[in-house]
Amino acid sequence: MADAVHLFHIAYSEQTLAQVPPGYQPLDNLNSPHNDWREYWPIRNYLLDHALDDDAWYGFFSPRFAQKTGLSAAQVTAFVQANAARADVVTFSPQADMGAFFLNVFEQEEVFSPGFIGAAEAFLAEVGQPLALGTLVMDTRQVVFSNYFVARPAFWRAWLVLNEALFALCEGPASDLQRQLTQATNYPGAVQRKVFLMERIVSLLLTVNPAWRVAAYNTFDCAWSGTPLNQFKLEAVLSDALKIAMREQGYHQYREAYATLRDKLRHPAAAADAT
């Protein structure tokens, strides 16, 4: 019998609530008292308020999921079930260029929000998990944007623990770190920095704990970013292959080749808006 896959469509307006695609359960976020947390608030509430089936899969997607990935709920379910025996987490991450041309998702956000890595490292040190985020290597097996992943409850619980620490810090007493994490970014709607850190926790967990088994849907088949980097499709494939080689073999020649390739292409992104 195939594993149950529970997919949720996060609705933040009457329009998005009325447009729940087939195969999704609506997750009402219309009157959120914490809209500054964006999708974290409804995901958090669901995980805290519901008893999860340890043998099932859960995914929480924004209304733009189909647009960014080209996938229906039926296709997501089929891919998850086809990989259920070999994975704990199944990812569906778009924007292959944003994943390929940066060493990791933290470096990628640093380009669009200078100071992001420093704030993220300070948070991790605060919760007893210090890491040098700028040195982490993430390939298509770890890169996830927009929380576009489906996972078993064990992973969601680990994800929630770290994000609840972030939530408590940002909602707690005023501090310099809190100020850094709640700083508005130039993303439309002045979304706070904490949201982009929250969205990168999945990639962090998959990178630092290889015990989590991952099945990644082909990111190159999904939508690319709206930056000038989206035209370099061959180079993105080569860059990701080099990062896989870096993680698997560790030869310095792979890192040097990667740096040479990406540095020729990446600079236009600094002046463009992230999507």
pLDDT at 31: 86
pLDDT reported for residue 265: 81
pLDDT on residue 82: 98
Task: Report the distance separating Cα 170 and Cα 271, nearest Å.
Answer: 29
pLDDT digits (tens, 9 = 90+) for 160-198: 999 999 999 999 999 999 999 999 998 888 999 999 999
Task: Please give the structure tokens belonging to residue 82.
Answer: 């086809």
**What's the confidence (pLDDT) of residue 266?**
62
SS3 27: strand
| Half-sphere exposure in the Cβ direction for 9 (13 Å, CA) | 22
What beta strand segments (E) does the chain contain? 5-11, 25-28, 57-61, 89-91, 149-151, 214-216
Query: Length of the chain, please?
Result: 275
Which pLDDT value is given to residue 92?
98
- pLDDT given for residue 263 in this prediction: 82
Angle of CA points 7, 9, 12, to nearest 5°: 160
Q: Given this model, what pLDDT does residue 247 score? A: 97
Q: Where in the chain are the domains?
A: 5-225
- Regions in the chain scoring below 50 on pLDDT: 268-275
What pLDDT shows up at residue 188? 87
CA–CA separation, 275 vs 263, rounded Å?
Answer: 21
Confidence at residue 269, expressed as pLDDT on a 0 to 100 scale: 44
Q: How far apart are CA 170 and CA 14, in angstroms?
A: 29
Instruction: Tell me the pLDDT tens digit for each residue of 202-213.
Output: 999 999 999 999
**pLDDT for residue 224:** 98
